[in-house]
Protein backbone atom coordinates (compact mmCIF):
# COMPACT_ATOMS: atom_id res chain seq x y z
CA UNK A 1 0.00 0.00 0.00
CA UNK A 2 1.22 3.50 -0.80
CA UNK A 3 0.40 6.63 1.19
CA UNK A 4 0.96 10.32 0.58
CA UNK A 5 0.70 12.18 3.89
CA UNK A 6 4.35 12.08 4.93
CA UNK A 7 7.36 14.38 4.74
CA UNK A 8 11.08 13.72 4.60
CA UNK A 9 13.22 15.76 6.98
CA UNK A 10 16.81 15.93 5.75
CA UNK A 11 19.33 17.01 8.39
CA UNK A 12 22.96 17.60 7.43
CA UNK A 13 25.02 18.11 10.57
CA UNK A 14 28.53 17.93 11.96
CA UNK A 15 29.95 14.42 12.23
CA UNK A 16 28.99 12.96 15.59
CA UNK A 17 25.69 14.85 15.87
CA UNK A 18 23.52 12.17 14.19
CA UNK A 19 22.72 10.28 17.36
CA UNK A 20 21.54 13.41 19.15
CA UNK A 21 19.40 14.31 16.10
CA UNK A 22 17.80 10.84 16.11
CA UNK A 23 17.17 10.96 19.88
CA UNK A 24 15.54 14.39 19.57
CA UNK A 25 13.46 13.24 16.60
CA UNK A 26 12.21 10.19 18.46
CA UNK A 27 11.35 12.23 21.56
CA UNK A 28 9.29 14.54 19.32
CA UNK A 29 7.35 11.67 17.71
CA UNK A 30 9.48 10.16 14.93
CA UNK A 31 9.69 6.39 14.62
CA UNK A 32 13.35 6.33 13.58
CA UNK A 33 15.78 7.56 10.95
CA UNK A 34 18.47 6.58 8.48
CA UNK A 35 21.99 7.91 9.02
CA UNK A 36 24.38 8.42 6.10
CA UNK A 37 27.88 9.85 6.08
CA UNK A 38 28.93 12.64 3.75
CA UNK A 39 31.42 15.42 3.20
CA UNK A 40 30.73 19.15 3.46
CA UNK A 41 31.92 21.85 1.09
CA UNK A 42 30.29 24.96 2.61
CA UNK A 43 32.12 28.22 3.23
CA UNK A 44 32.40 27.57 6.99
CA UNK A 45 33.54 23.98 6.63
CA UNK A 46 36.74 24.21 4.58
CA UNK A 47 39.97 23.84 6.53
CA UNK A 48 43.55 23.54 5.38
CA UNK A 49 46.32 21.20 6.43
CA UNK A 50 49.71 21.79 4.84
CA UNK A 51 48.02 23.93 2.20
CA UNK A 52 45.57 21.18 1.23
CA UNK A 53 41.85 21.83 1.68
CA UNK A 54 40.20 19.23 3.90
CA UNK A 55 36.46 18.79 3.62
CA UNK A 56 34.99 17.88 7.01
CA UNK A 57 32.81 14.83 7.26
CA UNK A 58 29.09 15.24 7.89
CA UNK A 59 26.24 13.11 9.14
CA UNK A 60 23.09 13.07 7.04
CA UNK A 61 19.94 12.02 8.86
CA UNK A 62 16.85 11.11 6.83
CA UNK A 63 13.59 11.02 8.76
CA UNK A 64 10.25 10.05 7.20
CA UNK A 65 7.54 11.56 9.37
CA UNK A 66 3.76 11.88 9.28
CA UNK A 67 2.95 15.40 8.17
CA UNK A 68 1.14 16.31 11.39
CA UNK A 69 4.37 15.71 13.37
CA UNK A 70 6.76 17.49 10.98
CA UNK A 71 6.88 20.85 12.75
CA UNK A 72 7.52 19.36 16.20
CA UNK A 73 10.23 17.01 14.93
CA UNK A 74 11.92 19.77 12.90
CA UNK A 75 11.94 22.04 15.97
CA UNK A 76 13.56 19.26 18.04
CA UNK A 77 16.18 18.69 15.33
CA UNK A 78 16.87 22.42 15.16
CA UNK A 79 17.53 22.57 18.89
CA UNK A 80 19.53 19.32 19.15
CA UNK A 81 21.67 20.19 16.14
CA UNK A 82 22.33 23.73 17.38
CA UNK A 83 21.26 25.00 13.95
CA UNK A 84 21.22 28.58 15.24
CA UNK A 85 25.04 28.56 15.26
CA UNK A 86 26.94 29.21 11.99
CA UNK A 87 28.45 26.16 10.33
CA UNK A 88 26.67 23.57 12.47
CA UNK A 89 24.26 22.23 9.89
CA UNK A 90 21.04 22.55 7.98
CA UNK A 91 17.69 20.79 8.10
CA UNK A 92 14.91 21.00 5.54
CA UNK A 93 11.63 19.30 4.73
CA UNK A 94 10.59 17.69 1.46
CA UNK A 95 6.97 16.75 0.84
CA UNK A 96 6.76 13.12 -0.21
CA UNK A 97 4.43 12.36 -3.07
CA UNK A 98 4.04 8.69 -2.15
CA UNK A 99 5.63 6.37 0.38
CA UNK A 100 5.76 2.58 0.29
CA UNK A 101 7.17 0.10 2.78
CA UNK A 102 6.06 1.69 6.05
CA UNK A 103 3.28 -0.73 6.87
CA UNK A 104 4.18 -0.61 10.59
CA UNK A 105 3.26 3.10 10.60
CA UNK A 106 -0.03 2.44 8.83
CA UNK A 107 -0.92 -0.26 11.36
CA UNK A 108 -0.11 2.08 14.25
CA UNK A 109 -2.38 4.77 12.76
CA UNK A 110 -5.26 2.27 12.47
CA UNK A 111 -4.98 1.09 16.09
Q: What are the structural domain ranges in the chain?
A: 2-110
Residue 87 has pLDDT above 70, yes or no: yes
Q: Which residue has the higher pLDDT, 26 or 57?
A: 26
Q: Could you please state the CATH topology (level 3) that the domain comprising 2-110 is classified under.
A: Alpha-Beta Plaits (3.30.70)
Q: What share of the chain is helix, strand, coil (3-state, %, to 5)?
A: 30, 40, 35
Per-chain mean pLDDT for the chain: 84
What is the pLDDT confidence band of residue 100, given thresholds at 50, 70 and 90?
A: confident
* CA–CA separation, 42 and 16 (whole Å): 18
Q: What is the pLDDT of residue 7?
A: 95
For 37-54, write each residue's pLDDT tens digit: 987 766 655 666 666 655
Helices in 1-82 by DSSP H: which ranges?
18-27, 70-80
Mean pLDDT within 7-32: 94
Residue 13 has pLDDT above 80, yes or no: yes
Amino acid sequence: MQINNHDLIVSIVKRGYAERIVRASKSAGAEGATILHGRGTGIHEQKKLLGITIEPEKDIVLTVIHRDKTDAVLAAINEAGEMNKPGTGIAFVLELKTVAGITHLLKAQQD
